[in-house]
Amino acid sequence: MSVQEYLDKHMLSRKIEDAVNAAVRAKTSDPVLFISNHMRKAVPSMITKIKARQILDSRGIPTVEVDLHTNKGVFRASVPSGDSSGTYEAVELRDGDKGMYLGNSVMKAVKNINEKISEALIGMDPKLQSQIDQAMIDLDKTEKKGELGANAILAVSVAACKAGAAEKEVPLYKHIADLSGRTSLALPVPAFTVLSGGKHAVNNLAIQEIMIVPVGAGRFEEALQMGSETYHHLKAVITEKYGALECNVGEDGGLAPNISSLKEGLDLVKEAINRTGYNEKIKIAIDVAATNLCIGTKYDLDFKSPNKSGQNFKSGDDMIDMYKELCAEYPIISIEDPFDREDWEHTKYFSGLGLCQVVGDDLLMSNPKRIERAIQESACNALLLKVNQIGTVTEAIEVVKLARDAHWGVVTSNRCGETEDTFISDLSVGLATGLFKAGAPARGERVIKYNQLLRIEEELGDQAVYVGEDWKQSL
């Protein structure tokens, strides 16, 4: 849009003239301030410029960052990326040129923002989130956002959301709550990844994450302290048992000793919790990410070992027996992806046992159709919300509504490849999701999200509600 078109579109010449006349009539002593205040009210808030760039995520892999300019300032957002990707999730556009970042550069997505998206959105009001998101969906025209790239669309959607909050002069979490039609805000219970395995770590543990969940804390701040102390006790337990060299960490910051069984991991975590003295206040959650272990109809609990003997293969029924035993022995309150994403039968059966919350991550891929099917078939009872699998803030809000209407729990989640963006922290408070998983209580790209929750709790003061024991049923 040319400057002249921009001025014409918003009738700015006329409005400036009106402001000058009003200043004269008011005989103001500060006409510049008077006119600029007048104009601020007279001109609808609008996106004036969008500039994207390629940056690196926490794994050193390129991702998209965008600066969205409005009359109120510049609003920055960047998008994460994960190991699990599937046919049902929105497309992450990568260039595929092996000569550039081994094929992982995202310059096409950046170009799409700087040209097509930018042209479509300049002049729009950043408060109108659903219209902005719809404009990008219309421009893309594909079901999975493969044309522009979900990484391009989400970066702009999140930046616009931040700009919308600033325009309304309310905190981001409050703006998100408004967009979803909610009035109650809540600080989630953090699920800290303290032990890493699966595709996230170089060890023999097949299971992806063992998390600690401080449901008994009185405030988020206390939960963070519990998480940090347990993490450090765990480091000491591992050092004593296997030596300091076993204290490497996985992609999400969880400790990654070379253990090979889930039970061994749970014993280490249990011992660490015992040492903190918090005991009953801290529960355990697991992300099996079982799709990675699945070979045909079997689950290979040695899937990372080079000599596949087949000895540690388990059937779906064996997996159920294993979970039953573990739930009886350890304070496990939640298991994510206990079976392959297409193994609906075992997931359904296990969920029906009611031993713990069953979270669908790879099972659902945050996809509304998969969520609806899972609701109908009672396949699981909680949604893992990964915003970049959907691609816009509006659609993320919609899937949370779907889950909530089915009385499911909701876990707001990070990805293994993260950035310094803290949007998901505000999202979790604004949508009052029960749990919040952002990796270990260590490493910059993880703690930045937990620290943001600390600040929100402080800002809310007496109004702050920590979900605590009500973690299961988001408020």
Q: Which residues bind ligand PGA (CB under 6 A)?
A: 82-84, 208, 287, 289, 361, 413, 415-416
DSSP type of residue 347: H
Question: Of 57, 133, 140, 252, which one is the catalytic site residue?
Answer: 252
**Which CB sits closer to ligand PGA, 197 or 214?**
197
What gap in Å lies between CA 475 and CA 472, rounded to an integer?
A: 9
Least distance to Zn ion from the beta carbon of 248, Å? 21
Residue 386 designated active-site: yes
Q: Is 361 in the site for Zn ion (CB under 5 A)?
A: yes
**Paired tokens of 312:** 């540690």
18 given a catalytic annotation: no
Structure token digits, residue 464: 């702050």
| Residue of minimal Cβ distance to ligand PGA | 82
Residue pointed to by tokens 């099972």 = 363
Marked catalytic residue, from 145, 162, 283, 386? 386
Identify which of residues 174 and 437 has a Cβ nearer to ligand PGA in the complex.
Answer: 437
**Angle, in degrees to the nearest 10, between helices 393-405 and 150-168:** 90
Site for Zn ion in 232-291 (CB under 5 A): 287, 289
**Which entry of Zn ion, ligand PGA, none binds 415, CB below 5 to 8 A by partner kind?**
ligand PGA
Residue 300 phi, psi dihedral angles, 5° rounding: -100, 105
| Interacting residues of 261 by C-beta distance below 8 A, sequence separation 6+ | 205, 301
Q: What separation in angstroms does the CA of 56 have from each of 74, 199, 314?
A: 20, 20, 38
**How do beta strands 62-70 and 73-78 pair?**
antiparallel
Q: Which does residue 154 bind out of ligand PGA, Zn ion, none, counting CB within 5 to 8 angstroms by kind?
A: none
Smallest distance, ligand PGA to C-beta of residue 359, A: 9
- Among all residues, whose Cβ is closest to Zn ion? 361
Q: How far is the CB of 103 from ligand PGA (least distance, A)?
A: 18
Query: Closest separation between CB of residue 192 and ligand PGA, Å?
Result: 13
Backbone angles phi, psi at 441, to 5 degrees: -85, 50
Cα separation, 305 vs 206, whole angstroms: 9
Residue 333 interacting partner from ligand PGA, Zn ion, none (CB closer than 5 to 8 Å by kind): none
Write down the least CB distance from residue 357 to ligand PGA, Å. 14
Residue with tokens 């996230």: 200
Cα–Cα dist 432/351, whole Å: 23
> Active-site residue numbers?
252, 386
Give me the residues that bind Zn ion (CB under 5 A), please: 287, 289, 336, 361
